[in-house]
Amino acid sequence: MVSNASDRPRIGITTYLEPAIWGIWQREAALLPRVYLDAVVAAGGTPLLLPPVGTDPSVLGVLDGLVIAGGCDVDPAAYGATPHPETIGTSPGRDQHDATLIQAALEWERPGRPVGLPLLAVCRGLQVLNVALGGTLHQHLPEVVAHDDHRPAPAAFGSTEIKVEPGTLTHRILGAQATGSCYHHQAIDVLAPALTVTARAGDGTIEAAEVADRAFALGIQWHPEETRDDLRLFTALIRSTR
């Protein structure tokens, strides 16, 4: 079921599955930083949470768009690599959940609309998108770029200057340059065949990639939900659902 034009589009957002504490309880919980929810609401959508339990791609039938959220390292087994010592806290079940929803979203068919449910993949989301389509990752980016600017300190976001390729969806949304809040130590290495690089950092790190034959299937390496005064990516996602 797709929203009427007068409705707020329903945007599914993937979640974490982590030990959590609230009130007197300490249990495993599906959770997500609130900034994702606020960004979707502020851009004009209604957020629906998609926990990595009981994955069923038919849930896309009640959505108008999909956000693959950031989070933990991608399990290198997903792309046939041996774990690096800095690759920790992986969640293979969440990797599979996100990859299943990505694959289904890219092939989703709706009457009178282009193939594919509008998709925005954030940080780890871009990495899962690349792996799901046959690419690989740098497991510890500081060894590649010789600095820690993409993850400067625990729980501290860095700032990345991004150069955007002209003639791309990313360029239509952001223009030639952008500044992104970043927190990651992994990034795309071998690009999946179905993806096109649409933005890079000054050190060459791939910052955005698109599925070329879909109207809106965009992955970004930074965290736009952390920049509350710049909703352009979320607004573009919402508009693409109309």
Tens of pLDDT, residue by residue over 39-52, are: 999 999 999 999 99
d(CA 68, CA 128): 9
184 is catalytic: no
Cβ neighbors of 23 (< 8 A, separation 6 or more) are none
Position 6 scores a pLDDT of: 56
Domains of the chain: 10-240 (3.40.50.880)
Alpha helices in 65-115 (DSSP H): 92-107
* Cβ atoms of residues 224 and 40 within 8 Å: no
Tell me the average pLDDT across 150-178.
Answer: 97
Query: Which member of 97, 138, 223, 226 is catalytic?
Result: 223
Of the listed 97, 123, 182, 210, which one is catalytic? 123
Q: Is 107 annotated in the active site?
A: no
Whether 2 has a pLDDT exceeding 80, the answer reads no
Instruction: Indicate if 123 belongs to the active site.
Output: yes
